Structures are given as structure tokens and as C-alpha cells.
Amino acid sequence: MSFETFVTDKTGLQKFYEAIIEKNETYAPVEKFGNFDFKRITRLSECNPESPIEKTRSIKPLFFPRSAKVMKYVATSAGTEIAETDKDPLAGKRVIIGAKHCDARALQVLDKVYSWDYIDTDFRNRRQNTVIVSTRCDKAAIHCFCTSLDYDVETLDAMDVLIVNGIDGKIYIRAKTEKGNAFLKNFPTIHDSQLPENEAAPALKAQYEAFAATFRLQMNYREVNEKLSKVFDSPEFESLSSNCISCNTCAFVCPTCHCFKISDEKVKDTGVRYKSYDSCNNGYFTLMAGGHNPRPAKYRRWRQRALHKFVYYKERFGENLCVGCGKCTFACPVNISIFEVVNQVSDTAM
Amino acid sequence: MEQLLVPMICKIDKIIQETPDIRTYRLKFKEEGRMEKFSWMPGQFIEFSFLGSGECTFCIASSSTRKESFDCSIKRAGIVTADIHSGLDEGDEVGIRGPYGNWFPLNDLKGKNLLFVGGGIGLAPLRSLIQYCIDNRNDYKDFTILYGARSSADMCYKDEIKEWQANKGLRVVLTIDKAEETWKSNVGVVPKILEEVVKPVIENTKVITCGPPIMIKYTIQSLLKLGFADKDIITTLEMKMQCGIGKCGRCNIGSTYVCKDGPVFTNEQLKLLPDEF
């Protein structure tokens, strides 16, 4: 389904953002110590919707918080009461501006695991109540490879509203979903500048082609999926992961990693149970009481990470559990690149 | 928040010291009428919270045909289980989520000879099915239980085993690893007793086995040697789990979620998994 496209300029876009922020609970990339994280804002000046991709955290924590309270409880000799949990701070109607395409795509990938069998209603509600406004990148960063994966960055509909900085200097705004279409109707100043499809389409395409030409990294994901499924015993996993310090940063910044742990903290009678990010790179991740650990070696944990992303999740849910955003590689303190790992291991396949 | 992970409160009705390091906790829901609504199948598991210490995965060790309560048999093996043993008394309250996971293939077992092969705490998940099958005895043919433990003191469910031995419809074979003066029964590891004493009928028999990983490994080897088909060997896997509902990513073996696709698998299914469990 295609929706109308509107055209504006830098001032018009700024006014559009300001109108969004004025009317909505809005989240946007806010700079701190040189990096950008999505925070609640009340003024456009607090944020940079075009923050550089390599310095911007994903929007995942707005849907799957880094650490969330499962519940509070009071446990005494008189009995145990599970106290009212706080109202979900992420469940209200809200808008995200400045989301990157890859991060928006990651939510589509996560929808699969959160909605099979047991439905995570918290995740679903947060998704349903959020309008995502995403600006297409103009240039790939050094570790980006989104155009090499199993989604079409050009026609992606993971965002509700798409913004494109045309190579002609004009700015194009287009709804990508029904939700986004309805949302744009709230902004009559934008709505006055409708562009016929025969003018909009070539402008968007030209920008995409210029953007797509800037990628250093390219691969054939089908080949990688196919080959990786045959290299479980490849010794390359060991050599490629030998530098890993098991810090788990890659998983914590990844927009698709979704492993978590459940932990209790109790002081005197009152306790809190948390659901927090965890990672398959942790040595204790699969360690069982009694000492048995199916993945006792670092290379096995790295293999799990690589194969979960490019083989297992694909088998199970039909998508790669990687969107090619490069965040893990930008953040890795020992310069391990998932792109290099999966491609180099694939090369060992017969 | 995080609605899927909030447990319900159960009261510990009774604690039975099975062995020096295994206790059975008999549980009932605190909320009036909840116990009647709680139903489970043999082989399913629950997430058991000792609030303040943590949450652990345990199989339900009793059958839903005996519904006034349910049992978890817990071996002291790690941090939370040690806390459970030292910190929980009868009358105390715990959190329960579940039941989760698949169950033993009851339809496939109907009309078959049943051979249960258990070791140590591995009898716990089998006990749920054994009770279920005893309560529906007419649905099954020969009914054999082989149970082994390190020593006679390490045998779980001693009183219930006496009931099984007294039941003319069951054949019970017990073994311990090393001879003891007062022990009159078999001595030797489970696979050896399976081959030399039990000598099972292969035809029309389903084997259900659970125990320490090393016992399961050698038991399956023996069963295959005796001529059993992979599809007739059923086991239940132990993997680290946390959510129990196919989300947290901990129990994955390849694209299989042990918490959802398992924990019960046939050997035919296990052979297709990457060797990582």
C-alpha cells in the first residue's frame, strides 16, 4: 500500500518536529558524552533527529527496557504479597523521532519472538501505542550493511512515517503505515504540500541509490545463511572469537538481541524482581546448578551468537536476527565484527 | 509490567526429606479455588520462586490425577536450591508460574508396554507419568520401573516405591552403584542392570528415561543395542531456563526451544539437534 508524499524544506521539517513535540509524548536522540540515546524530550533543541548512526543507541529500550521491574513483593513470616507493580512508563501513546531504519526494522524482527505462543502483551502494547518517525540515512557508516540483509531498506515499512533528505535539497515526508497516515493528518501545514507520486517516487529513488552506493560492506545473506548452517564444527569460530572478553556489550547495544535474565533483589521484607538484558556470550548463561554447562567455551558461545542470528532465528521465524546496523562492531572494545565473523566462517564451508 | 513473568503464590503444605540432598515440596495455591483450576500434564514444568533468592525450573513430580496438591522434588545443587533447602519451611509461601512445556506423548503410550528407566533425581519427572499411568492402568500393558541411585540412602520416594513393589501390576527393579551390607537387590549401574536383569521386551514397548546426563547417554546406548528404535525412546531434557515461555533465549539448542518444544523429546528428535546440551 502506498500513501501520499509531502514535500518541505529544512524549516518546514523543523516546524513539523516542533508540532510533534508540542502535541505528543516524544522520544528522540539526546546527546550525552558524545553518544546519543533516545530520551523523552519537550523541545526540539534538546535532541538531534539526524544523530550520526555510529554514535546512536537503538530504540529497542523503549520497547524492551534494559532493566524492567517485573514486580514488587513483600515476603514476611505472615505471608507473601505481590504488590501492585508500577504503571508501565512505556505504555502510553508516544512518538519517536530520529529513529534509524535498521532499528525500526529490528522491531519487526522482534515481533516474531514476542508474539509466538505466549504473547508478550507489554511489548505489543508499547508497539501499538508508538508512532515511529524515521529519517533515511544519507551515507553508510563504516560497519553498516543493512542493504545486504533480508529486508528492502528502500521500501521498508517498519516506520510509520518516513523522512528522506532528497539529493535535490528538498525534504520528503511519507506515511508508510495506516497509523502513520492517520498521524500525518494531524499536521495540516505538512498536508498542504502534497506531491504527486510520479514526482515523489523518482526523488526517493534517487536518494536511495546515492545512499546505497556508499556501503563499504556488502554480502549475500542467502549464501551466508546457507553456508553457516553447515559449519557448526568450523575451527574458525575459535580463532575469530579469541579476542572476545565476554563483556556482552555487543548484545546490549544490538537492536535485535532479546535474551534476558530474571533476578531478585530483596532487602529485609521487601523485594523487587527485575527482567534485565543478558547475553549468550556470558559464561554463566547456560550454566546449570550442579555445574553442567552445554557451552563452556567462549568459541561455543560466539558460535551460538552467530548461528542464532543467521541460522536458528531464520529457521524458526523466517528472518535474520541481524539488521546490519553495525552497532555491535562500533561498540566492541576488541574490534570483533559480526560481518567478518559470519563471512569468514562461511568461507570455510565446502 | 512484564505481566508474563509474575508468579502466583503457593503455600508449602508438606516437606518430605527424600534423601540427604533431595526434598519434596508439596504445594497448594494460596488463592481459594485456584488449585482446582490448575491442571498439568505429566512431563510439564513450573518456574518456582523463592522470593528474594530467585526463580528456578523444576518439573512437576506428581500427577494431575492426584490433584489436591502438586509436588516439586528439589535437589540441593546450586545457589537457589541451597536457599530453598535452608530457608523454606512447611507453611511458607513461594511463587509459581506455569505449567509450561510439552508433555510425555500420552496417546503414543496407550496400549504399549511401558519401561521407565530412572536415575537419582531423574525419577521426579518420571514419577508424574508413573502415577498418571498407574491411575489409568488399563490403558497400558506390561509396566516396568527400573530405578537406580548411588546408594540406598540416595533413593527418592522410598515409601512410594514400596507401594509400587506391592502393586501386582508393576515390575519394579532397583539398583545401587556400590554394594551395601543391608541391600538385598541389584548392584550396578543402570544400563548394566537394564541389559542383564530387566531384559526388556522390545516389541510394542516405549521407554521413558531420565537421570544424570551420563546415565541417559549410556542408557540410550544400551537401549539401541538391545534393539529399541529411536522413536520409542523418550527422555526429558534439562537445560538452563528462566522465562519458560520461549522468550529469554537461554534454553535454545539450535532453533529448538527446550521450554516450548520440549522438555520431552524422543531420541529421534534429539539426534537432529546440534550437539550442545
A101-143 pLDDT, tens digit each: 999 999 999 999 999 999 999 999 999 999 999 999 999 999 9
**Cβ proximity of A80 and B95 under 8 Å:** yes
Residue B248 forms contact with A (CB below 8 Å): yes
- Residues of chain B in contact with residue A122, where contact means CB-CB under 8 angstroms, are 1-4
- What is the per-residue pLDDT for B4? 85
Residues A312, B44, B108: CA angle, nearest 5 degrees: 90
How far away is chain B from the Cα of A272, in angstroms, using its nearest Cα?
8
pTM of the full predicted structure?
Answer: 0.93
**Of B7, B255, B276, which is closest to A295 when you measure between CB atoms?**
B276
Q: Which of B234, B248, B253, B277 is nearest to B102 (CA)?
A: B234
Domains and CATH numbers, chain B: 3-100 (2.40.30.10), 106-236 (3.40.50.80)
E strand segments, A184-235: 194-195
| Ramachandran class of B204: left when φ > 0, alpha when ψ lies in -120 to 50, beta otherwise | left
- Residues of chain A in contact with residue B277, where contact means CB-CB under 8 angstroms, are 294
- Report whether pLDDT(A2) > 80: no
How much helix, strand and coil, in percent to the nearest 5, is found in chain B? 30, 30, 40
Single-letter amino acid, residue A47 = C
Across the range A191-209, mean pLDDT stands at: 90
Find the closest chain A residue to B80 by CA distance.
A289
**Of B4, B6, B252, which is closest to A120 when you measure between CB atoms?**
B4
**Cβ proximity of A74 and A83 under 8 Å:** yes
Instruction: Give me the helices (H) in A135-196, please.
Output: 178-184, 188-191
**Of B49, B80, B248, which is closest to A260 when you measure between CB atoms?**
B248
Residue B35 forms contact with A (CB below 8 Å): no
- What is the per-residue pLDDT for A60? 98
- Residues of chain A in contact with residue B55, where contact means CB-CB under 8 angstroms, are 262, 264, 273
3-state secondary structure (DSSP) of residue B55: strand
Across the range B69-97, mean pLDDT stands at: 95
The count of C-alpha atoms lying within 13 angstroms of the C-alpha of B138, restricted to the half-sphere facing its C-beta, is: 0
Candidates B6, B11, B28, B51: best to mutate against A (most CBs of A within 10 A) is B51
CB contact under 8 Å between B247 and A118, yes or no, is yes
- Report whether pLDDT(B150) > 60: yes
How far away is chain B from the Cα of A261, in angstroms, using its nearest Cα?
7
How far away is chain A from the Cα of B143, in angstroms, using its nearest Cα?
32
A349 against A269, higher pLDDT: A269
Rounded to the nearest angstrom, the gap between the alpha carbon of residue A220 and the centroid of all alpha carbons in its chain is 21
- Report whether pLDDT(B55) > 70: yes
Phi (first) and psi of residue A139, to 5 degrees: -150, 140
CB contact under 8 Å between A289 and B55, yes or no, is no
CA dihedral sign of residues B111, B117, B120, B122: negative
Give residue A83's pLDDT band: very low, low, confident or very high (50, 70, 90). confident
Q: Which of B72, B62, B63 is nearest to B12 (CA)?
A: B72
Rounded to the nearest angstrom, the gap between the alpha carbon of residue B119 and the centroid of all alpha carbons in its chain is 10
Candidates B83, B121, B247, B261: best to mutate against A (most CBs of A within 10 A) is B247
- Report whether pLDDT(A166) > 70: yes
Across the range A29-58, mean pLDDT stands at: 97
Find the closest chain A residue to B238 by CA distance.
A288
User: How do the domains of chain A map onto residue ranges?
Assistant: 5-212, 221-346
**Of B4, B30, B254, which is closest to A312 when you measure between CB atoms?**
B254
Q: Which of A264, A271, A82, A83 is nearest to B30 (CA)?
A: A82
- Report whether pLDDT(A21) > 60: yes
CB contact under 8 Å between A85 and B239, yes or no, is no
Query: What pairing do the DSSP bridges indicate for beta strands B186-187 and B171-176?
Result: parallel
Q: Which of B44, B38, B53 is nearest to B8 (CA)?
A: B38
- Residues of chain A in contact with residue B79, where contact means CB-CB under 8 angstroms, are 289
Q: What percent of chain A has pLDDT over 70?
A: 99
The reply to whether omega before B212 is within 30° of 0 (cis) is no
Across the range B70-74, mean pLDDT stands at: 97
Q: What percent of chain B has pLDDT over 90?
A: 95
B2 against A319, higher pLDDT: A319
CB contact under 8 Å between A116 and B52, yes or no, is no
**Cβ proximity of A257 and A331 under 8 Å:** no
Residue given cell 496407550 in the structure block = B110
Cell of A34: 558524545
Contacts with B168 (C-beta within 8 Å, 6 or more apart), sequence order: none
- Report whether pLDDT(A154) > 90: yes
- Residues of chain B in contact with residue A286, where contact means CB-CB under 8 angstroms, are 239-240, 250
Cell of B130: 508413573
- What is the per-residue pLDDT for B213? 87
- What is the per-residue pLDDT for A185? 92
Of A192-196, A214-218, B235-239, which range is least confident?
A192-196
- Report whether pLDDT(A156) > 60: yes
Q: How far, in Å, CA of A341 to CA of A302, rounded?
A: 9
Query: What pairing do the DSSP bridges indicate for beta strands A94-99 and B252-253?
Result: unpaired
Q: How far, in Å, CA of A58 to CA of A102, rounded?
A: 9
- What is the per-residue pLDDT for A77? 80
CA dihedral sign of residues A210, A213, A219, A222: positive
Instruction: Give me the helices (H) in B105-186, please.
Output: 106-109, 123-135, 158-166
CB contact under 8 Å between B247 and A114, yes or no, is yes
CB contact under 8 Å between A70 and B6, yes or no, is yes
- Residues of chain A in contact with residue B239, where contact means CB-CB under 8 angstroms, are 286, 288, 294
Across the range B72-82, mean pLDDT stands at: 95
Q: How far, in Å, CA of A305 to CA of A247, rounded?
A: 14
- Report whether pLDDT(B130) > 90: yes
Residue B255 forms contact with A (CB below 8 Å): yes
Cell of A131: 508512532
How far away is chain B from the Cα of A312, in angstroms, using its nearest Cα?
4
**Cβ proximity of B248 and B234 under 8 Å:** no
Across the range A295-304, mean pLDDT stands at: 95
Query: What pairing do the DSSP bridges indicate for beta strands A171-175 and A161-165?
Result: antiparallel
Q: What is the mean pLDDT of chain A?
A: 94
Candidates B83, B240, B245: best to mutate against A (most CBs of A within 10 A) is B240
Q: Looking at this predicted complex, what is its ipTM?
A: 0.91
Give residue A1's pLDDT band: very low, low, confident or very high (50, 70, 90). low
- CA terminus-to-terminus distance, chain A: 42
| Beta-carbon contacts below 8 Å between A and B | 133
- Report whether pLDDT(B80) > 70: yes
E strand segments, A161-308: 161-165, 171-175, 194-195, 260-267, 270-277
Within 10 angstroms of residue A267's Cβ, the number of other Cβ atoms is: 8
E strand segments, B44-196: 45-50, 54-59, 70-75, 93-100, 113-119, 143-149, 171-176, 186-187
3-state secondary structure (DSSP) of residue A98: strand
Per residue in B182-223, pLDDT tens?
999 999 999 999 999 999 999 999 999 999 989 999 999 999
- Report whether pLDDT(A324) > 90: yes
| Residue A222 DSSP one-character state | H
- Residues of chain B in contact with residue A79, where contact means CB-CB under 8 angstroms, are 9, 30, 93
Which run of H or of E encompasses A330?
helix A327-331
Per residue in B203-212, pLDDT tens?
999 999 999 9
Q: What is the mean pLDDT of chain B?
A: 95
- What is the per-residue pLDDT for A191? 72
Across the range B15-21, mean pLDDT stands at: 97
CB contact under 8 Å between A278 and B4, yes or no, is no
Residue B28 forms contact with A (CB below 8 Å): no
3-state secondary structure (DSSP) of residue A41: strand
Q: Which of B116, B94, B105, B117 is nearest to B46 (CA)?
A: B94
- Report whether pLDDT(A86) > 80: no
- What is the per-residue pLDDT for B1? 54
**Of A80, A275, A288, which is closest to B9 when you measure between CB atoms?**
A80
Q: How far, in Å, CA of A120 to CA of A129, rounded?
A: 14
Rounded to the nearest angstrom, the gap between the alpha carbon of residue B175 and the centroid of all alpha carbons in its chain is 18
Q: How far, in Å, CA of B253 to CA of B239, rounded?
A: 9
Provide the residue count of chain A: 350
Q: How far, in Å, CA of B166 to CA of A202, rounded?
A: 84
Contacts with A283 (C-beta within 8 Å, 6 or more apart), sequence order: A246, A293, A296, A298, A301
Within 10 angstroms of residue A229's Cβ, the number of other Cβ atoms is: 17
Across the range A155-164, mean pLDDT stands at: 97
Across the range A201-222, mean pLDDT stands at: 96
